[in-house]
Amino acid sequence: MINNIQEHHNEEEVHKLNMENDVSKWRSELEFLEQEINFYLLLLASSLIERTRSNHIDAKYLVKQFHELKDLNNFHYKTCIQFQNKLQGIEECDDVQCDNAYLNSFLIFKNKLDTHFEVVRTIKRSAFQYLQNGIEAYEN
């Protein structure tokens, strides 16, 4: 659920809402990635790959990468749910030190997810290139 910023919200409340919105978006992205990863695994294991002139060793390597990515994505998804629940505690903060602790946790988590999403993009780029090369070889 995306929370909207209202005129009556102060700066601290705006930061909290932004964090909640970001975590909600990350959770949604991680959920979709699970579906994407499963799609790639099905595609790479399908007879379509057999029909192309693709290197089957590369396909096996990509399958291995997507299985590892699936495990990693699942870990980050569970961590995201835990973090989303933990973030509810920010409402109880009554001093700057407490707010900063949540903000620091948020930034650390954000950096981990940014790294994860970059790994995802790299693996997907490899899969795109592999599939494109296979299609082009099949067409020629």
- pLDDT tens for each residue of 5-49: 455 556 677 778 889 999 999 999 999 999 999 999 999 988 877
Domain membership flag for residue 49: yes
pTM of structure: 0.84
Number of domains in the chain: 1
pLDDT at residue 129 greater than cutoff 60:
yes
Domain membership flag for residue 85: yes
Q: What is the DSSP string of 50-117?
A: HHTT--HHHHHHHHHHHHHHHHHHHHHHHHHHHHHHHHGGGGG--SHHHHHHHHHHHHHHHHHHHHHH
Looking at residue 39, what is its pLDDT? 96
Structural domain containing residue 119: 45-139
Domain membership flag for residue 52: yes
Looking at residue 57, what is its pLDDT? 80
